[in-house]
Amino acid sequence: MAGICMGFEVHQPFRLNPVFSPEEAKGRRDLKSFYFDRRNRDILRKVARNCYIPAAEIVLDALDGGMRYAFSFSGTLIEQMEEWCPEALSLFTDIAVHPNTELLAQTYYHSLAGFFADRDEFVEEVRMHTDLMHDLFGVRPRVAENTEFSLDDGIAADLRDLGFQAVYTEGADRIVPVNALNETCTCCGIPLLLRNCPLSDDIAFRFSWPGWDKRPLMADTYASWIAMSPGRCAHVFIDFETFGEHQPRESGIFEFLAYLPAALADEGVALFTPSEAAALPPAAEITLRRPVSWADLEKDESAWLGNRLQRYAFSALEHSPARQMRPELWRYLGTSDHFYYLAQKGGSCGDVHRYFCPAGIEEAYDTFMAILSHLERRCLGKGKRPLASVPNPEAFHFRMPDGRYAGVSAHGLREFEEALLSVPGESVLWHLERGDYAPWIRDAIGDRKLAAEVETAASPADLERAVHERRCSLCTL
């Protein structure tokens, strides 16, 4: 018989302003009010009304009755509740300080910093988050989860070195040893807690699905499934927004949440906190050379980095000069949701992505690049301005001699330099012979000196050399 460790992710992003205008922000100092959607307040209040407040009240009653829960609050959610919904924050504070609750660490901005080539930013954001939990709730988390349970060997090692007792990830079929799903494992010397995907998704996704033969799911039925599960501890972890937001009140989801503790007790199911589960003897060692996450059917990083638009945006963010010059704004752009909105998937996964991004992928991408490029240009003086990215309509889109898109675009000098090495040679030569590069560098990038050099380039090698030398000289100014 398995016990249960039940946890909740609670997160809201600062969604970007889809009608951002550089002209409106000209000369303004409070860029945050221009970069982010004014509807964030209304969305937060709606979710609080539908989910956070009624669900938190049920959870508090359950905690008083002996139930145990784990909670992971993103820093961006806390900021929004502090400003726009203190009543929800008050309830979550009562939950956070309850002796039957364990708080988890994550990246403050619920970001993709763990996928950067260097993870200094990842480490810093985890420290920021643990400081927030301590300052707000008086607790320093001992167990961590990276954004959306994404994990690989490098991230696991970083969390181990930060002193965490354990880390969560998805119990994806491709990584779980036989008979180890409901067991504690290890990865790079840190205990690994594996989310039970089927039991979690029974609540998060299938609960009100008309085509599910187990609908309506009752608390006593679910508790019996936990009791019959093999292993020592089933980790059931879902978005807290499941209650009343993703699964509507009419589905019976609140009744399920309220009755589940008693149903588990009736079945004799043991209750674990993450720290208690981490102390169990490990059943296996797991190696994560490829990232795993709880997102989509692929259970990898493809929900955020699976297509060219996502990778362009991510690369531009990773190498942005705003990372050092305006980190207090730059970090909000690293929130995973901005990249999730850019996914181009079909089937049920595509339906979920479109639910969160109804405006469309191209619009979301244009908005992201417009805001990032504006922030960079505000950061940089005139001498370094060519290091900034440009919005997507001003990017250089490589084409083949027959006019077909070559599949690569450049939004700045770094991307342009990298593209010259990856784009088919005939495309590079075709644009060179047409004289396409110099006008783009002069007008979009704003570098007249480099444009003049490129105009005299006699070969792709000359072009590559000129771009590389100019970019390096700008970086050292």
Residues facing 397 on adjacent strands: 409
**Does the N-terminal peptide bond of residue 393 adopt cis geometry, omega within 30 degrees of 0?**
no
Number of domains in the chain: 2
pLDDT for 358 equals 60
Last residue of a domain, one of 236, 256, 278: 278
pLDDT for 45 equals 98
pLDDT for 383 equals 60
Q: Digits of tens for pLDDT over the chain (477 positions)?
A: 789 999 999 999 999 999 999 999 988 889 999 999 999 999 999 999 999 999 999 999 999 999 999 999 999 999 999 999 999 999 999 999 999 999 999 999 999 999 999 999 999 999 999 999 999 999 999 999 999 999 999 999 999 999 999 999 999 999 999 889 999 999 999 999 999 999 999 999 999 999 999 999 999 999 999 999 999 999 999 999 999 999 999 999 999 999 999 999 999 999 999 999 999 999 999 999 999 999 999 999 999 999 989 999 999 999 999 999 999 999 999 999 999 999 986 676 656 656 666 667 889 999 999 999 999 999 987 666 778 899 888 999 999 999 999 999 999 998 999 999 999 999 999 999 999 999 999 999 999 999 999 999 999 999 999 999 998 887 764
Question: What does 58-113 look like in DSSP terms, one character per residue?
Answer: HHHHHHHTT--EEEEE-HHHHHHHHHH-HHHHHHHHHHHTSTTEEEEE--TT-BSG
| Pick from 350, 291, 351: nearest CA to 170 | 291
Q: What does the alpha-carbon distance between residue 395 and residue 389 come to, in Å, rounded to a whole number?
A: 9
| Pick from 186, 184, 142: nearest CA to 162 | 142
Who contacts 14 (Cβ-Cβ below 8 Å, separation ≥6)?
36, 37, 40, 76, 79, 80, 332, 335
- Domain annotation covers residue 283: no
pLDDT for 48 equals 98
Last residue of a domain, one of 239, 261, 278: 278
| Pick from 236, 256, 259, 260: nearest CA to 248 | 256
- Domain annotation covers residue 302: no
Region for residue 128 given its phi and psi (left: phi exceeds 0; alpha: psi -120 to 50; beta: otherwise): alpha
Asked if 71 and 136 count as a contact pair (C-beta separation under 8 A), the reply is no
Residue 44: give the domain boundaries: 3-278
| Residue 373 identity (one-letter amino acid) | S
- Domain annotation covers residue 363: no
Burial class of residue 208, CB neighbours in 10 A (0-12, 13-18, 19+): middle
- Domain annotation covers residue 228: yes
Q: Any idea which residues carry the catalytic annotation?
A: 148
Q: Which two tokens stand for residue 413?
A: 């000098």
Q: What does the alpha-carbon distance between residue 345 and residue 354 come to, in Å, rounded to a whole number?
A: 9
Q: Which two tokens stand for residue 320?
A: 């942005």
- Domain annotation covers residue 418: yes
Give the domain CATH number at 75: 3.20.110.20
- Domain annotation covers residue 351: no
Q: Which two tokens stand for residue 352?
A: 């979920």
Last residue of a domain, one of 243, 278, 313: 278
- Domain annotation covers residue 58: yes
pLDDT for 380 equals 87
- Domain annotation covers residue 353: no
Inter-axis angle of helices 219-228 and 197-204, to 10 degrees? 170
